[in-house]
Amino acid sequence: MDSDPARHNKILGSRGNMEEMIPTFATQALTIAGFLAAATLSDATAPPGAPVKSAAVACLTTGDGYLRAKMAGAVDAHVDWPNSGTLCEGEYREKPPGVRLSFQRPSGSAPHLLLVFGLTGVKEGVSAREVRTNLTVIVHGTSRIFGTMGDSRCTVDSLTQRPLVARIYRIEARGFCTQPAHAVRGKGDVLVSTFEFAGPVNFDTEQK
* Segment 112-169, tens digit of pLDDT: 999 999 999 999 999 999 999 999 999 988 889 999 999 999 999 999 999 999 999 9
In order, the DSSP letters of the chain are ----HHHHHHHHHHT--HHHHS--HHHHHHHHHHHHHHHHHHHHHSPTTPPP-PPP-BS-TTS--EEEEEEEESS-EEEEE-SBT-EEEEEEETTTTEEEEEEE-SSS-SS-EEEEEEEET--TT--BSSEEEEEEEEETTSS-EEE-SSSSSEEEEEEEEEEEETTEEEEEEEEEESSPEEESSSS-EEEEEEEEEEEEEEGGG---
Residue 23 pLDDT exceeds 50: no
* Segment 67-105, tens digit of pLDDT: 999 999 999 999 999 999 999 999 999 989 999 999 999
What share of the chain has pLDDT > 70, as a percent?
A: 70
Confidence of residue 9 (pLDDT cuts 50, 70, 90): very low
* Segment 176-207, tens digit of pLDDT: 999 999 999 889 999 999 999 999 999 997 66
Give the pTM: 0.76
Confidence of residue 42 (pLDDT cuts 50, 70, 90): very low
pLDDT recorded at residue 205: 75
Q: Alpha-carbon distance 149 to 176, whole Å? A: 16
